[in-house]
C-alpha cells in the first residue's frame, strides 16, 4: 500500500522531531552545529559525514574519497545520530515544558503571547 503525500510529509516531520539525520537531507548549519558537539579529531571523518548527510553521497564513496575506514565512519555516524536524537529530545522538553536549563536546575520561562 503506497503512502499519500500528506502521510509522507507527516513521516518526514516525525523524523525531524525525533532528531533522525537522513542522508542527503541534513542542513549544513545543523551538521556544523552537531559536528562541534560530537568529538571528531579528524577532518577526514568530518568531511565524510558531511558528504553523506548533507550532500547525499554513498558511504563507500565518501569514505574512499576521504581515506576513512567504513567501520570508523559507522561508529561516528551512529554517534552523531545519537547526539542529534538527544538534542531533539532536549529541545522538545524545553518547548513542551516551557523550561530552560540554568546551572543544575530548570527555570520556568515566561512565554510571549
Asked if residues 53 and 26 have their Cβ atoms less than 8 Å apart, the reply is yes
The answer to whether residue 32 is domain-embedded is yes
Asked if residues 70 and 59 have their Cβ atoms less than 8 Å apart, the reply is yes
User: What is the count of structural domains for the chain?
Assistant: 1
Distance CA 11, CA 100 (A): 28
The rounded Cα 72 to chain-centroid distance in angstroms is 18
Tens of pLDDT along 36-68?
999 899 999 999 999 999 999 999 999 999 999
Tens of pLDDT along 92-105?
988 887 755 555 45
pLDDT-based confidence at residue 12 (cuts at 50, 70, 90): very low
For 74-89, b/e burial (b = at least 16 CB within 10 A) is eebbebbbebbeeebe
Residue 34 has pLDDT above 60, yes or no: yes
Specify the pLDDT at position 6.
58
Domain containing 81 equals 20-108
The answer to whether residue 84 is domain-embedded is yes
User: Of 61, 85, 63, which Cα lies nearest the Cα of 72?
Assistant: 63
Q: What is the DSSP letter of 110?
A: P
pLDDT-based confidence at residue 10 (cuts at 50, 70, 90): very low
Amino acid at each position: 500500500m503506497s503512502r499519500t503525500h500528506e502521510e509522507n510529509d507527516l513521516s518526514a516531520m516525525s523524523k525531524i522531531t525525533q532528531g533522525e539525520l537522513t542522508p542527503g537531507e541534513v542542513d549544513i548549519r545543523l551538521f556544523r552545529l552537531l559536528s562541534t558537539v560530537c568529538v571528531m579529531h579528524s577532518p577526514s571523518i568530518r568531511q565524510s559525514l558531511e558528504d553523506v548527510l548533507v550532500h547525499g553521497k554513498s558511504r563507500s564513496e565518501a569514505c574512499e574519497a576521504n581515506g576513512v575506514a567504513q567501520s570508523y565512519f559507522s561508529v561516528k555516524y551512529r554517534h552523531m545520530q545519537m547526539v542529534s536524537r538527544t538534542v531533539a529530545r532536549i529541545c522538545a522538553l524545553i518547548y513542551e515544558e516551557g523550561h530552560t536549563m540554568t546551572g543544575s536546575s530548570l527555570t520556568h520561562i515566561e512565554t510571549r503571547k
